[in-house]
Structure 1
């Protein structure tokens, strides 16, 4: 009798631990079932072959584990909600600000100065920026001199090498260093944060006004 009821208890618990979306009410119900079965087991056990103490301890440990897992799940859900709320507040604070994200494009409008940037993996003695138009023709070469490792914001006054104003439109740029040892560079484009939204994974994302697909906070290299 003891063996049969114990197996039933263990089977019920093992089945419950495999359910990822257990609720507190389910845990309470399982505990009630366990106590009922345990009481019945103790009342009907064979005096000459009582239930093994180690088996009882195992069953108690399993019911405790189930409750602990549900408590942890509830706690994690609460933490996740707090993190999501915090990220939303951080993202909202960026609305109206310019940011630098991965990309090598520069938008020129009305000949106004434009911002872009670069991230250097290490210090560089001489940094050169080459700007090209949509046909691939070089329109401006900027000598930025020596730069320290990290992310730097740069600007282009919109003038071409011949002193004339560049036409409105999209341009691309590349960054090169003259160091003996190659320095890894990452081109960064400018974008204005116009709003906060969510991506396909329901994560907080920044709306960059069509300049780029929605990006997360971790994709921002520099806030201007």
Structure 2
């Protein structure tokens, strides 16, 4: 009968531990109760001439203790995860009102009262250095408004700004534009990701998805904390 108890406990542990939640308190309690019932039954019905030795008993008790340990470990991990989520939400709340760079290709232009041109910054993320980076600004119709070089850029994240002028040197009209970036190193294309500027309006704590969400307004919507590439 010893082998029956061993395989039952092991199979239960394997099936319960394969999920993300593991054993809950109810399952663990039921498993311990069934285990003790089987163990007592085994001791009562063992062969007097070939009784179960201490090593077998110790091994089986160790298995049920493992079940209890898993339950306590799951409870501890859940508590730690809750504390981590709360800490991340508190830290993320410090971003409210700040400007950030997130993956995107939008640049906004507006003219001030005295004629000055204001544009939102944009950024690039390069996996490796580039000896030349070219920026192309297009309007909502896909027409190229301006195209210019920014020169060499190191790997990593860098932020830039468009002066708000067309290729003819005239001020572009107010509105939203798209920015495209091309990067090369000795004539070979370098992978590049374009980033746009947005302001954090609010923070939503991690829910079932496990991700803290940042509200960037109606234009940019919501992003997760890991989408933030740079804080400006």
TM-score bracket, shorter-length normalisation: 0.7 to 0.9
Q: Give the root-mean-square deviation of aligned CA atoms.
A: 2.7
Contact 1:131 1:174 in 2 (8 A): yes
**Are 2:103 and 1:96 equivalent residues in the alignment?**
no
Q: Give, in angstroms, the shift of residue 100 of structure 1.
A: 0.7
Aligned equivalent of 1:135: 141
Separation of aligned partners in 1, 2:185 and 2:34:
74
- Any idea what SS the aligned residue of 2:108 has? strand
Q: Give, in angstroms, the shift of residue 46 of structure 1.
A: 3.6
Contact 1:114 1:157 in 2 (8 A): no
Larger mean CA deviation between 74-83 and 35-44 belongs to 35-44
CA distance change for structure 1 residues 201 and 26 in 2, over 3 Å: closer, same or farther? Answer: closer
Q: Deviations over 1:162-215 (max 9, x none)?
A: 232211222111112353232211111111111112577252111111232321
Larger mean CA deviation between 47-56 and 29-38 belongs to 29-38
Aligned equivalent of 2:114: none
CA distance change for structure 1 residues 164 and 199 in 2, over 3 Å: closer, same or farther? Answer: farther
Provide structure 2 residue ranges, at least 5 long, that are not aligned to the other structure. 112-116
**Are 2:211 and 1:210 equivalent residues in the alignment?**
no
Matches within 5 A, 1:173-184: 173-180=179-186, 181-184=188-191
Q: Give, in angstroms, the shift of residue 133 of structure 1.
A: 0.8
TM-score, with length taken from structure 1? 0.83
Provide structure 1 residue ranges, at least 5 long, that are not aligned to the other structure. none
Contact 1:91 1:205 in 2 (8 A): no
Separation of aligned partners in 1, 2:50 and 2:33:
25
Separation of aligned partners in 2, 1:146 and 1:74:
52
TM-score, with length taken from structure 2? 0.81
CA distance change for structure 1 residues 186 and 23 in 2, over 3 Å: closer, same or farther? Answer: closer
